[in-house]
Chains A and B, each alone.
Chain A
């Protein structure tokens, strides 16, 4: 179980291996972001990017799932108050393979909740060409490690 204390500032970890399919891109976008360049490969040719690309919110949701699978489900996570910055720097296309690089930027105790710590994290979601498709800076609430009885 990972607690607040297990996120030292400066730590970098790499995780995730997500192969993105056209079916997944279209399925997410059909429900949440049905713009032509997310749901229709033919119509996407006339768009700004010129081909089918994943919704940026889908890329964010895929990052979330990779975080859950890599460490968050085995942590004392108490959610997140928000995302300071989210940059969709490169399109995510069918066939892309995504991995994540997490950097711990800051760590501090919560003033209002003594049992909680707040960790500042940066996530770089990279594709198979080494390009950063999504850059995200966020804060995470984590419970502090309980005192161990002597």
Chain B
């Protein structure tokens, strides 16, 4: 994912990083974006199907994105140190099959991974599209989140990366 489009290997798997979910962070995120009772109120959460406080799914997804960006930044720095060119950063057109198989609880640490599923060229010669499966597993080995996502990645060609 960090390389140019041409360098990306189908099936390649990568550990992106981990994120700790404190009670305070769960409640703070939810107060701002998803203030449902089971994300902000320990007592009220006991009566929900979650049977206790859990993080907003958007919080668990946002942390995945943060780990993706941090992993990419580390890889770019490594390439820079070798004096190699940097691939342009693209955007993502979307995500499919996003699931939260298990709730993320206060104190949980989720480790995120992704795997290259496929890739294809686009109409624009400077960009390729990469299809990934991205998932997060908590400290008990239970899956907290999984999704199929896509991203535009710069092609090597003979272009000069803008960054």
Binding site for B on A (CB under 8 A): 31-37, 43, 46-49, 53, 55-57, 60-62, 64-65, 68, 72-73, 77-89, 91, 113, 116, 141
Contacts and interface: CB of A to CB of B under 8 A. Distances in A.
A60 B58 contact: yes
Contacts of A49: 91
Interface stretch (B3-11, B34-42, B107-115, B129-137): B34-42
Given A32-B66, A37-B89, A79 B35 contact: no
A73 B34 CA distance: 9
B56 interface: yes
Given A32-B63, A82-B99, A82-B100, A56 B92 contact: yes
- Which DSSP category, helix, strand, loop or mixed, fits chain B's interface? mixed
A64 B100 CA distance: 16
A64 B33 contact: yes
Interface residues of B, number: 35
A85 B94 contact: yes
A129 B66 CA distance: 30
Nearest to A134: B94
Given A61-B33, A81-B99, A82-B99, A87 B93 contact: yes
B49 interface: yes
A88 B93 CA distance: 5
Given A64-B56, A78-B49, A84-B97, A35 B62 contact: no
Among B91, B99, B127, B152, the one with the most A-chain Cβ atoms within 10 Å of its Cβ is: B91
A55 B58 contact: no
Contacts of B88: 47-48
Given A57-B61, A64-B33, A68-B34, A35 B93 contact: no
B48 interface: yes
A141 B162 CA distance: 45
Q: Identify which of B38, B48, B63 gathers the most chain A CB atoms within 10 Å of its CB.
A: B48
A55 B65 contact: yes
